[in-house]
Amino acid sequence: MKETYAAEHETIIHVHEKEEDGILIRNLPQLSKSMTFANMFKQSKISREILKNIEWLFPAVCKRKDQNDMTETERSRFLCAFHMINSDGTLGKLVDIHNEMHMQHTNARLLPWHRNYVYLFEEALHNYHPDVCVPYWDWTKPEEQHFPAWLLAELPTVITPTRTINVVRSPGTDSQLASIASSTPSALSKTDILTSSC
């Protein structure tokens, strides 16, 4: 009975992994040509046997952390993966997808559309560092109502299929962030995204 359950569980995981790979390749086809260590390992015959014993190597779900709580190693691995997807053109494709008109900012699509978009971004990062997760920035906390210091120098040039973008940022002053953050309880009290302004 236990062996049957384990075999069924492994089959379900294998099918789920193939579905995820299909979604990723369909949306970012250039990744199918990318032979990183992580992809080569996943495709090797021995990887499934190894992964049974060390599930932590390729976690099924990312556990996102507040950027303020990340270790120096986690930050440098995130930036390494970010620079790699910028170098291989994946980031440019993602930037163009976000720039296309999907009506993703002005209606009920805001959250589900961006959830899928962040998933694709995170999977692209996993192509280089399988343990990297996209951090969040909780600027409702007074100690985080400024732009994260470890990201200040990150102003990449992103080459998309349609243009070149030199990143600049303007997150606002600390007092502006505090003012926006003060409206968070009101936004969280909304029970229908259509009544919220996106």
∠ CA 144-80-166, nearest 5°, is 75
pLDDT score recorded for residue 6: 46
For residue 2, what are its two tokens?
A: 């236990």
Q: What is the pLDDT of residue 35?
A: 65
Q: Is 6 helix (H, G, I), strand (E, B) or coil?
A: helix
Q: 53-57, 88-92, 122-126: which has the minimum mean pLDDT?
A: 53-57
Q: Which residue has the higher pLDDT, 57 or 138?
A: 138
Q: Residue 140 corresponds to which amino acid?
A: T
Average pLDDT over residues 55-75: 80
CB-neighbour burial class of residue 26 (10 A; exposed 0-12, middle 13-18, buried 19+): exposed
Report residue 54 as tokens: 């060390």
Q: Would you kindly state where each structural domain of the chain is located, as residue ranges?
A: 2-195
**Each residue's pLDDT tens digit, 133-153:** 999 988 888 888 888 999 989
Note the maximum CA span of the chain. 61
Neighbours of 47 (CB within 10 A): 14
Q: Is the pTM of this model over 0.75?
A: no
Residue 129 has pLDDT above 50, yes or no: yes
Strand pairing partners for 164? 159
pLDDT, residue 33, reads 62
Query: Which value, in Å, is the radius of gyration of the alpha carbons in the chain?
Result: 19
